[in-house]
Amino acid sequence: MNKGKNILCIGAGYVGGPTMAVIAAKCPEYSVTVADIDENRIKAWNSEKLPIYEPGLSELVKKVRGKNLFFTTDIAKGIKDAGIIFVSVNTPTKTFGEGAGKAADLQYWEKTARAIVEHAEDSKIVIEKSTLPLRAAEAMHRILHSNTKGLDFDVISNPEFMAEGTAIDDMHNPDRVLIGGMESPSGKKAVKTIADIYAHWVPREKILLTNVWSSELSKLVANAMLAQRISSINSISALCEKTDADITEVAKAVGMDSRIGPKFLRTSVGFGGSCFKKDILNLVYLCEYYGLPEVAAYWEQVVKINDFQERRFVKNIVRNMFNTVAGKKIAVFGFAFKADTGDTRESPAIYITKMLLEERADLAIYDPEALDNAARDLKDVKGKFELVTDPYKCAKKSHAILILTEWDEFKKLDYGKIYESMEKPAFVFDGRNILNHRELFEIGFNVFPIGSTKMTHLK
């Protein structure tokens, strides 16, 4: 067996599954195994209905699964057989002890390192794909070298920049691939081995080779800067609503400055997803740890503005629906944290629905891909809500529709028909600014966009 051509990825989640499917498809001479402790997840990866929704993923997996892409729970065998091990387990925000609420919880990541030490029979390259705090590679290196079998490991940082919803496209055409390695000769050789895998489809000039610490920090900073743009434009949306300026016009005018650019300047109910909040808080924690409270406070404000935007949205709903939503049916369109994914981790919809349930609203929730996850998120939440698989049924007899995810299908619904089936006065709160507000107003709706003047028939 040529172990150098055997890749193992530990962690079969939103990152591990899609990245390894792309590597398997692009590098047919490699055998790629994805292992996880979650039996149900592995079963789903081996079935017709994959555990995550991602455009293009299912077709890609079907092409290579069973040929050079395998999914397994046998982590020990996977470690023994592989010469190259990617670690892409979850690194959520710590909920207990020192650094709770900010620092990354590294328990899953450390368990993986210990499993590698336990089962490895020869030296390997270990690649951090999970997003980790600075100097985690050093800690990984120490744990791996605590082995008493005389084995040597090279640890590499290769953070993943793909975004859910466009994961397959992002991996096929990445802006860059970042590979951080140690300075030693074997470290350099390991970096080259990993770069050669990506070079099967990524132009060499887009493969950046850095030291391991720069690579780890770049991932946190990239996410913090992206989230900062969203919070910046959202903070200005609040000002627009007070001044009759229009956020779409402001964002366009600002984004046409080529030094700024248009990306991530779309206002909304706020950012979500498993990464932005946790990575910024992780950065905040690192700054505090290194005695930089001003820098920590600066980045923490990005998260605070996001919370503000979610709370503001709910306040706006209650205030405009005559200061009460108690007992009123409200239709929630969208639960995923963004379109084209079923992922609901840190979705603004979770916080918004919880706040509305506290106000005793009756919620009906529709999402084309995220209802299973919504059921899990709201499992222990008190209040009246139902998950509905049809948007027209969802809106029937409701007083208001909230758009919480920018799914394309919401733009194509028959709002005339929906309006007829609703209680009057009927409201639309467009938390993503995706609908045609003038048209809705003409149908009879009272329309509340984010960051521009409301359109209402109420005297």
Ligand X SMILES: NC(=O)c1ccc[n+]([C@@H]2O[C@H](COP(=O)([O-])OP(=O)(O)OC[C@H]3O[C@@H](n4cnc5c(N)ncnc54)[C@H](O)[C@@H]3O)[C@@H](O)[C@H]2O)c1
Q: Please state, in angstroms and rounded to a whole number, the distance separating the CA atoms of residues 84 and 3.
A: 8
Binding to ligand X by residue 111, rule CB under 6 A? yes
To the nearest whole angstrom, how small is the minimum distance from the Cβ of residue 183 to ligand X? 25
48 in Cβ contact with 31 (< 8 Å):
no
Q: Which of 112, 193, 398, 405 binds ligand X (CB under 6 A)?
A: 112
Binding to ligand X by residue 398, rule CB under 6 A? no
Binding to ligand X by residue 164, rule CB under 6 A? yes
Query: Please, how many CA atoms are within 13 Å of residue 190, restricted to the half-sphere of its CB?
Result: 29
To the nearest whole angstrom, how small is the minimum distance from the Cβ of residue 445 to ligand X? 34
Q: Which of 6, 8, 9, 16 binds ligand X (CB under 6 A)?
A: 16
To the nearest whole angstrom, how small is the minimum distance from the Cβ of residue 2 to ligand X? 24
Look up tokens 């619904």; give the residue.
413
Q: Which stretch binds ligand X (CB under 6 A): 159-167, 253-261, 315-323, 359-367?
A: 159-167
Q: Which of 108, 264, 289, 419 binds ligand X (CB under 6 A)?
A: 108
Q: Which is nearer to ligand X, 37 or 151 (CB)?
A: 37
Q: Which of 68, 93, 130, 157 binds ligand X (CB under 6 A)?
A: 130
Q: Which stretch binds ligand X (CB under 6 A): 6-14, 225-233, 240-248, 321-329?
A: 6-14
Interactions with ligand X, residue window 54-93 (CB under 6 A): 75, 88-91
Q: Which of 7, 8, 9, 14 binds ligand X (CB under 6 A)?
A: 14
DSSP string, 145-190: TT-SS---EEEEE------TTSHHHHHHS-S-EEEEE-SSHHHHHH
Q: Please state, in angstroms and rounded to a whole number, the distance separating the CA atoms of residues 332 and 401.
A: 6
Active-site annotation holds for 287 = no
Q: How many residues bind ligand X (CB under 6 A)?
A: 26
310 in Cβ contact with 348 (< 8 Å):
yes
Classified as helix, coil or strand, 369 is coil
Q: Please state, in angstroms and rounded to a whole number, the distance separating the CA atoms of residues 181 and 416.
A: 59
DSSP string, 302-316: HHHHHHHHHHHHHHH
DSSP string, 62-87: HHHBTTTEEEES-HHHHHHH-SEEEE
Q: Which of 7, 8, 9, 15 binds ligand X (CB under 6 A)?
A: 15
End-to-end distance of the chain based on CA atoms, in angstroms?
78
Catalytic residues: 275
Interface residues toward ligand X, by CB under 6 A: 10-16, 36-38, 41, 75, 88-91, 108, 111-112, 130-131, 160, 162, 164, 274-275
